[in-house]
Amino acid sequence: MFSGKTEELLRRIRRAQIARQKVQVFKPAIDNRYHENRVTSHDGKGFDAQPVSSSEQIAACVEPTTTVIGIDEAQFFDEGLVRLVSDWALRGRRVILAGLDTDFRGEPFGPMPVFMAIAEEVTKLHAICVVCGEFACRTQRLVNGTPARYDDPVIMIGAAESYEARCREHHIVLHDDSSEA
């Protein structure tokens, strides 16, 4: 989080529009942090988007004339999205995904590792660790100001009130034995 993933998605989508390409943007229906029908970055920049709950719903909504498909928070979607994205790419459509590659535990998140493996291009952005100022490669979930427990649910929608960018050294996940990992 806080690395500029959505900002980069928006930048690429706007460039496709400037090139007069037909663009559609999708976001997970569960992500209503800033706006229900817009992909919005933490700094308030946004673009109209269709909220959807599954890869099947995205497939049903993509118009035949669309040449560029943007999907924000791709980690929240089911594995069926991998097949769709691959099919679209084979048909010459450009697909731009933004999402977290790891969850709050520091483990691979949803279909993102597969996307990273099959993509023609991967841009991995890093935030800045709020503890030490180094590159942050982890998302620290906080519950009432305390690091989350390993067995907490993987998906919990939130922003700065629930998450911080952390480097590997300062990322903490509590386990049942109360030790940190």
Active site residue 73: yes
- Please pick, among 7, 56, 63, 73, the residue that the annotation labels catalytic: 73
Structure tokens at 117: 């493996």
Where do we find the tokens 């700094």? 43
CA nearest to 109, candidates 72, 74, 156: 74
* Phi, then psi, of 69 in degrees rounded to 5: -120, 120
Please give the Cα distance from 142 to 15 (Å, whole number). Answer: 36
Please give the Cα distance from 64 to 50 (Å, whole number). Answer: 16
Residues annotated as catalytic are: 73
